[in-house]
Amino acid sequence: MAGVPISRRAVLRFLGLGVAALGARGFPAIAGGDGGHVVVVGGGFGGATAARYIRRFDPSIRVTLVEPRARFYTCPFSNLYLAGLRSFDKLGHGYDALRRIHGVDVVPAWVEDVDTVARHVRLRDGSRLAYDRLLLSPGVDMDWQALEGYDAAASEHAPHAWKAGSQSHRLRRQLEAMDDGGVFILSAPANPYRCPPGPYERVSLIAHFLKRHKPRSKILLLDAKDGFSKQPLFMEGWQALYGGMIEWVGLSADGRVLRVDARRREVETEFGARHRAAVLNVVPPQKAGLIAHRAGVTDRSGWVPVKPETFESRQVDNVYVVGDATVAAPMPKSAFCANSQARMAAAAIVASLQNRAPPEPVWANTCYSLLAPEYGISVAGVYRLIDGEIAEVPNSGGISPLEAGSDFRAREARYAQRWYASICDDTWGPRG
């Protein structure tokens, strides 16, 4: 300890943090500035969390969050909307609290390009924002080249609904219009993709909807892999709740969809089987959001390799990336992980601007899935750096027990609701 120098300025900054926190309720937030400027691109779970926590950790740092949409609609809980169990509006979160309480400068704009040498981002209107550090939280884009017959135009007929928005509305309308006795088909991709248990929660909640309103209907889940997140729990729950309504076909049983005819709502699998749906939901392969490619931080996989200790790009200095766009396995592409990575990256950015070493990281994940409104299951994990790589802490984590009672499942369903409220609060501040 004696060998570690510490500046008077750093001490004052630490002390100042406490004062600023006390002042948060009654006074306008300090905009900051002399501690440097961080530009954050993307206002989802990763970006909004990072913006907030950079300001919390060092209010002298100016933070500009660039996000084109006035409200962010979450993928978590959008399956409840599809099943008619939650209003779409309740998935939306605005940026007023980030502005008002946390002093983040929120700019409603689309980032067109990044110049990582001159260190500025260019907005669609041509203006530029200079940065000392850049954090990208671009989420995913659908990979329209990856699945024959499935592009943006095809998704008008066979929605992916893998980003909450117009695609969700389209799929919801199709489900409402579907005749009783129709077949709903979901095509699930190989790993990695956003929200590993998402397809399975989706068919569960759609089964809940169909069982009540169109009970003669069937669900076919065609899968490009042979195993999936929380599989034994889903299988157990499907049997208990929906009998034989959901049929899952894995890779080895010819579940991999190779071609889509969206207008006919028909898919063709690897070995040539054709399946026709009343409602076809294609969750295609994905890649990092566009701005990550523009910034030069993606590799040939289409995703973003990062230095695990900081989540700074392995390829470009001073650019940090968090959330679904990154290669962070074994951490899944989940909202919880994006929030966890963003808090840690915020601390790393602050340390870097203060010429300090980054803190030792620890991340966590908890993913709840709802199989019905009163039936929840979970997977949890704690992650650390082990031999320089992200690894799950041995003998920790795991999934809910099999054969648990209905009380247990109901409790996890309530926890899922509470988790959603808490993480959204931690990300965007009080709902406004």
What is the total count of residues that contact other proteins (CB under 8 A)? 66
What does the alpha-carbon distance between residue 42 and residue 110 come to, in Å, rounded to a whole number?
9
What does the alpha-carbon distance between residue 415 and residue 377 come to, in Å, rounded to a whole number?
10
312 counts as binding other proteins under rule CB under 8 A:
no
407 counts as binding other proteins under rule CB under 8 A:
yes
359 counts as binding other proteins under rule CB under 8 A:
yes
Taking CB under 8 A as the binding criterion, the range among 67-75, 242-250, 268-276, 406-414 that sits at the site for other proteins is 406-414
300 counts as binding other proteins under rule CB under 8 A:
no
339 counts as binding other proteins under rule CB under 8 A:
yes
Taking CB under 8 A as the binding criterion, the range among 76-84, 178-186, 203-211, 379-387 that sits at the site for other proteins is 379-387
CA angle 325, 348, 326 (to 5 degrees): 10
Q: Which is nearer to other proteins, 23 or 68 (CB)?
A: 23
In contact, 396 and 377? CB cutoff 8 Å = no
DSSP states of 370-383: EEETTEEEEEEEEE
What does the alpha-carbon distance between residue 292 and residue 18 come to, in Å, rounded to a whole number?
35
What does the alpha-carbon distance between residue 202 and residue 205 come to, in Å, rounded to a whole number?
5
Nearest to 186 by CA among 208, 162, 166: 162
381 counts as binding other proteins under rule CB under 8 A:
yes
* Residue of 159, 199, 289, 429 that binds other proteins (CB under 8 A): 429
3-class SS shares of the chain: helix, strand, coil, % to 5? 30, 25, 40
* Residue of 86, 102, 194, 230 that binds other proteins (CB under 8 A): 102
Burial class (CB in 10 A: 0-12, 13-18, 19+), 38: buried
57 counts as binding other proteins under rule CB under 8 A:
yes
* Residue of 1, 34, 271, 355 that binds other proteins (CB under 8 A): 1
**Segments in 268-405 forming alpha helices (H):** 290-294, 335-353
Cβ burial 332-348 (10 Å sphere, 16+ → b, else e): bbbbbbbbbbbbbbbbb
What does the alpha-carbon distance between residue 109 and residue 111 come to, in Å, rounded to a whole number?
6
> What is the smallest separation between the CB atom of 332 and other proteins, expressed in angstroms?
14
153 counts as binding other proteins under rule CB under 8 A:
no
* Residue of 241, 262, 344, 349 that binds other proteins (CB under 8 A): 344
* Residue of 75, 97, 98, 178 that binds other proteins (CB under 8 A): 97
* Residue of 118, 153, 329, 362 that binds other proteins (CB under 8 A): 362
Q: Report the run of H or E that residue 405 belongs to, with start and end.
A: none
418 counts as binding other proteins under rule CB under 8 A:
yes
φ, ψ of residue 107 to 5 degrees: the values are -110, 115
In contact, 282 and 187? CB cutoff 8 Å = yes
* Residue of 184, 228, 336, 375 that binds other proteins (CB under 8 A): 336
In contact, 160 and 281? CB cutoff 8 Å = yes
Taking CB under 8 A as the binding criterion, the range among 12-20, 75-83, 187-195, 228-236 that sits at the site for other proteins is 12-20
**What x-and-dash track marks residues 245-284 binding other proteins by CB under 8 A?**
----------------------------------------
Task: Give the HSE-up count for residue 203: Cα atoms under 13 Å, Cβ half-sphere.
Answer: 33
- Residue carrying the six token digits 């999934």: 399
In contact, 78 and 164? CB cutoff 8 Å = yes
> What is the smallest separation between the CB atom of 48 and other proteins, expressed in angstroms?
13
101 counts as binding other proteins under rule CB under 8 A:
yes
**What x-and-dash track marks residues 15-54 binding other proteins by CB under 8 A?**
x-xx-xx--xx---------------------------x-
> What is the smallest separation between the CB atom of 255 and other proteins, expressed in angstroms?
30
What residues contact 87, with CB distance under 8 A and at least 6 apart?
Answer: 81
Question: Applying CB under 8 A, which residues contact other proteins?
Answer: 1-2, 4, 6, 8, 10-11, 14-15, 17-18, 20-21, 24-25, 53, 55-57, 97, 101-102, 336, 339-340, 343-344, 347, 356-357, 359-364, 366, 378, 380-384, 392-393, 395-398, 400, 407-408, 411-412, 414-415, 417-419, 421-423, 425-426, 429-430
